[in-house]
Amino acid sequence: MSKVHVVTVSDRVSANKMADESGPALVRILERDRFEVSGPEVVPDSRERIAQAIVAAVANGADVVVTTGGTGLGPRDVTPQATSSVIDFEVPGIGEAMRRSGAGSTPMAALSRGMAGVRGHTLVINVPGSIKGATESLESVMPVLEHAIRLLHGNTTHD
């Protein structure tokens, strides 16, 4: 069973000023599709803390790390920068798929900087922080997750 770690990035949630809705919603989607899920871990909008959470999840054996929050244009939205600082390479098609899917609901999806990349053998995916943006984005890439995990673990046989 593939392991996924969920990280909620939010100053307000980390300060207990707001409930985390997107992290638990992502956990439900992943568990529904039979992934072994840890989290949601909550960190503030801090490049250092986000990067640390990703690195720790990879070190703990996560096949996928999904972050929610910090992908917009606000001054505290630093999740893509933090992710870029710890990945080996980007997987642009995942971010493109998430934005394409979101555009069906709102033109604002074009403003999301959600991205994906690989650290070692782990896929890291950034989704928006709103519950709707987070769930729509994750649902849009669920069909490719298991195949991506197999490829990252050296099974290059294509279905």
Tell me, what's the pLDDT at 157?
Answer: 74
Over the range 64-97, which residues count as b (16 or more CB within 10 Å of their CB) and which as e? bbbbbbbbbeeeebbbbebbeebbeebbeebbeb
Tell me if 102 sits within 8 A of 95, measured CB to CB: no
> In degrees rounded to 5, what are phi and psi of residue 127?
-120, 160
Per-residue pLDDT reduced to its tens digit, 90-140: 999 999 999 999 999 999 999 999 999 999 999 999 999 999 999 999 999
Q: At 96, list the tokens.
A: 């493109």
Q: At 116, list the tokens.
A: 């994906």
Annotated domain spans of the chain? 3-152
Assigned CATH topology for domain 3-152: Molybdenum Cofactor Biosythetic Enzyme; Chain A (3.40.980)
Per-residue pLDDT reduced to its tens digit, 37-71: 999 999 999 999 999 999 999 999 999 999 999 99
Instruction: Beginning with the edge strand found earlier in the chain, give each strand of the sheet holding 64-68 in spatial order.
Output: 36-43, 3-9, 64-68, 122-127, 116-119, 89-90
Tell me if 133 sits within 8 A of 101, measured CB to CB: no
CA–CA distances in Å: residue 69 to residues 28, 151, 159: 17, 27, 33
Tell me, what's the pLDDT at 156?
Answer: 85
Pairing verdict, β 3-9 and 122-127: unpaired
Quote the CA–CA distance of 33 and 59 in Å, as a whole number.
23
pTM exceeds 0.95, yes or no = yes
